[in-house]
Structure 1
Amino acid sequence: MSYFTDVMARIKTMSTNTTCPVCGKKSKQSITKLAKEQTMVCPHCKSLFVIH
């Protein structure tokens, strides 16, 4: 495995705390989803949201 693929694999496993805009609770979401502005699901209220 090259150095670049190792770094990319580590980035994919990283997560951050995001706040749901509907219920206001915090949950862990993938950094790659956040960077690509993909739809995330709140595990508490099941709403879909995108953070820009």
Structure 2
Amino acid sequence: MFRKYAEFGGRATRAEFWWFTLFAALVSRSCAGASRPGPTARRTNPLQVF
């Protein structure tokens, strides 16, 4: 998977594309889940934050 890590010429194989897409989706989901407030967080109106 990391054979051509720093080689930017040409195109990625289909497998490389889908592995990268899966990795990016999992990282995005985990970051979104980590940024959600917990169950004890006070719910406020977004317009009343300031």
- Larger Rg belongs to: 2
**RCO higher in 1 or 2 (8 Å CA, sep ≥ 6)?**
2
Q: Same fold (TM over 0.5)?
A: no
TM-score of the aligned structures, taking structure 1 as reference length: 0.30
Q: Name the structure where strand makes up a greater proportion of residues.
A: 1
Q: Name the structure where helix makes up a greater proportion of residues.
A: 2
